[in-house]
Amino acid sequence: MSARHAASNLELLAIYEVSKILGSSLDLQQTLREVLRLLSYQLQMHRGRIYLLGEDAVMRLVAANGLSNEQAGQVEFREGEGIIGRILKTAMPAVVPNLADEPLFLNRTGGRDDLEEQVASLVGVPIKAAGSVIGVLTIDRISDDGPTTHFGTDVRFLTMVANLIGQTVRLHRTVAEERRFMMRETFRVQKELRAAPPIADVVCTSPAMTDVLAQVHRVAPFKSTVLIRGESGTGKELIARAIHNLSPRKDNPFIRVNCAALPETLLESELFGHEKGAFTGAQKDHKGRFELASGGTLFLDEIGDISPNFQAKLLRVLQEQEFERVGGSRTIKTDVRLICATNLNLEEAVGKGKFRADLYFRINVVSIFLPPLRERRDDIGALAKHFVAKFNKDNGLTLALANEAQDVLNRCPWPGNVRELENCIERAATQSRDGIIRAVDLSCAMNLCNSSILFQYSTMGSAVGGLAPATAVHAAHSAAAPSPAPPPAKAMPATAPALPPILPSTAPSGCAACPSAPSAHAAPPSIPAPDPAEAAEALAEEPESGSLRDRLLWAMERTGWVQAKAARLLGMTTRQVSYALRKYDIEIKRF
């Protein structure tokens, strides 16, 4: 009784170990070999073999003790062939007490030439999944005293192991099928994109933008309303125009309205039109954009900036496709496809009551999100070369972009996105002297980076003029090129002469995106931050009143004519100090 109990405990432990092995790896063949090794080590089950049924209805050996993967791959059985084929056909376990007396034993795996010296028994069970046989598990029992008749325990135990193997194989095959499906879909989409007409001025190689273009091609043939979302400068209007050009409406008008650029009263007149005499200055009938775009596409940019009152008027047009002109009573029918765009968080605006939920659901039928440029850095190089080529074409030049300049561009977080990159390339092209745009030609090398200037006016987490929030840009900058935070600056006294006030922010002076770019005015990297005690002593000596020229001279002399140190003492940026020195014609001393 105790021996039987010990054997049961050993089998239970083996089942537990088998389950752990089956869930430990995605390599199915290696996992199955580990299971057979465990059976051999713990239960003395020799010559374990696992066969799996292929899609061609052939049973192949996939794991075997004592055989390499190449040797195992050459062994196969068909239904009804040998012992393995009989188990496959009958879906029932099979026990062969003595392989030497079994005519169905084909010995295809070799190694059984010793049957005259010892008795080898075989136990085989079907591997099932979802009620179907998908494989066979076999083991050998070796005895020197003749065949035994007690195989019931082995059959029961191996059936449990086979069930675990069956579920694992089914899971692996399901995952593999889903992976093949995804690969086929990816290949199909890429093939469609290659076969589809190119989208003008859309330059991209990143997977994120490839998905966006796939969405554009899928949604273009329909009339569904599209909401394009993304930060300012990501190319929302370009995508809207692409949807129109790929749609059946491409020969009809594409009308664009910037909702943020017009006050509510003027926006209503622009969209719906007005009758003669509707208000002062309305000297004749005026067709609105909904009327002009009939049969085509109307693109409402910055839809999130319209007032709550106008949202209600717009909702009716979207629902009924009809409206009245301002000052008129005649109902006008229209047939437009609406494409909207915004850089705002509409869900947050709905939650705060600033945007109507019913209008949100009406315009958010198909949503396309344009990722910011910092999240698709694979596109920066291609876009930069595209803008250089565009500048060359517009100006009849043959400029080239140096690798060093490209490296600097790749490190930038680009809060202004593609629009900012285009402007940066154009400014750098105008500074090029030898036909090559180098790193020193970029704005950040001259402390003139627009992003840096703008973000000095931003507070942490806020956005500047629709650009990326400062937190997002600084997080991207920290991940790409971490640098120590600048020391806190002393605020300008209230009596200081007027220069643009700079609010303290986490963005360092100059280009926060390109810390390693050379700068004409910034302090060299080797200059350390001033000692706190020394800074306090210096600030105590600072004149409390006087002209900006006197304060500049004091700061420059106090810091050894290093502009970056003087800027920190005065609570200014290096660029402001440089500008003030030129303005007051102060000659910089060289040591």
User: 14 vs 10, 29, 32, 256, 483, CA distance in Å?
Assistant: 6, 19, 14, 71, 55
Q: Which pLDDT does position 483 carry in this prediction?
A: 40
Comparing CA positions, the residue from 31, 28, 48, 30 lying closest to residue 39 is: 48
* 55-61 average pLDDT score: 87
What are the residues whose beta carbons fall under 8 Å from the beta carbon of 190, sequence distance 6 or more? 210
Q: Could you report the per-residue pLDDT of 189-224, keeping only the tens digit for each?
A: 666 666 555 676 788 888 888 888 888 988 999 999
- pLDDT confidence tier of residue 3, bands split at 50, 70 and 90: low
| Domain ranges across the chain | 2-175, 207-371, 373-474+483-520, 525-591
Phi then psi for residue 542, to 5 deg, are: -65, 135
Q: Which pLDDT does position 154 carry in this prediction?
A: 87
- pLDDT confidence tier of residue 490, bands split at 50, 70 and 90: very low
- 68: part of which helix (H) or strand (E)? none
Q: Which pLDDT does position 563 carry in this prediction?
A: 85
Indicate if the pLDDT at residue 484 is higher than 50: no
Of 293-302, 387-396, 582-591, give the lowest mean pLDDT range: 582-591
Q: Which pLDDT does position 413 carry in this prediction?
A: 86
Indicate if the pLDDT at residue 18 is higher than 70: yes
User: How far is Cα 48 from Cα 40, in angstroms, rounded to an integer?
Assistant: 7
Indicate if the pLDDT at residue 356 is higher than 70: yes
The CATH H-level (homologous superfamily) assignment of domain 2-175 is GAF domain (3.30.450.40)
Of 143-147, 228-232, 389-393, 546-550, give the lowest mean pLDDT range: 143-147
Q: Are 119 and 147 a contacting pair, CB within 8 Å?
A: yes
How large is the angle between the packed helices 207-219 and 152-195, nearest 10 degrees?
70
256: burial class by Cβ within 10 Å (0-12, 13-18, 19+)? middle
Q: Which pLDDT does position 521 carry in this prediction?
A: 37
- pLDDT confidence tier of residue 313, bands split at 50, 70 and 90: confident
User: How far is Cα 271 from Cα 585, in angstroms, rounded to an integer?
Assistant: 54
Q: Which pLDDT does position 133 carry in this prediction?
A: 92
As assigned by CATH, the class of the 373-474+483-520 domain is: mainly alpha
Of 273-282, 308-317, 514-523, 554-563, give the lowest mean pLDDT range: 514-523
What fold, for 207-371? Rossmann fold (3.40.50)
User: How far is Cα 34 from Cα 45, in angstroms, rounded to an integer?
Assistant: 13
Indicate if the pLDDT at residue 466 is higher than 80: no
* 501-520 average pLDDT score: 39
Of 36-50, 218-232, 497-511, give the lowest mean pLDDT range: 497-511
Indicate if the pLDDT at residue 506 is higher than 70: no
Indicate if the pLDDT at residue 498 is higher than 50: no
- pTM, full prediction: 0.53
Neighbours of 349 (CB within 10 A): 17
Degrees (nearest 5) of the Cα angle 89, 94, 95? 160
Comparing CA positions, the residue from 185, 484, 230 lying closest to residue 341 is: 230
Degrees (nearest 5) of the Cα angle 460, 263, 456? 20
Q: Which pLDDT does position 208 carry in this prediction?
A: 87
Beta bridge partners of 140: 46, 122
- 217: part of which helix (H) or strand (E)? helix 207-219
Of 41-50, 98-107, 290-299, give the lowest mean pLDDT range: 98-107
Looking up tokens 């465990």 gives: 38
342: burial class by Cβ within 10 Å (0-12, 13-18, 19+)? buried
Instruction: Give the SS3 label for residue 585.
Output: coil
Mean pLDDT computed over every residue of the chain: 79
- pLDDT confidence tier of residue 46, bands split at 50, 70 and 90: confident
Q: Could you report the per-residue pLDDT of 511-561, keeping only the tens digit for each?
A: 544 444 333 333 333 334 444 444 444 444 445 445 678 888 888 888 888
Q: Which pLDDT does position 236 carry in this prediction?
A: 93
Q: Which pLDDT does position 463 carry in this prediction?
A: 57
Indicate if the pLDDT at residue 319 is higher than 80: yes
Q: pLDDT over 70 for what percent of the chain?
A: 78
Q: Does domain 525-591 have CATH number 1.10.10.60?
A: yes
User: 526 vs 331, 522, 563, CA distance in Å?
Assistant: 73, 11, 14
* 425-450 average pLDDT score: 85
Q: Which pLDDT does position 472 carry in this prediction?
A: 54
User: How far is Cα 486 from Cα 368, in angstroms, rounded to an integer?
Assistant: 39
* 284-305 average pLDDT score: 90
What would the two tokens of residue 425 be? 């390339």
Q: Which pLDDT does position 432 carry in this prediction?
A: 87
Q: Which pLDDT does position 527 carry in this prediction?
A: 35
Higher pLDDT, 45 or 534: 45
Indicate if the pLDDT at residue 410 is higher than 80: yes
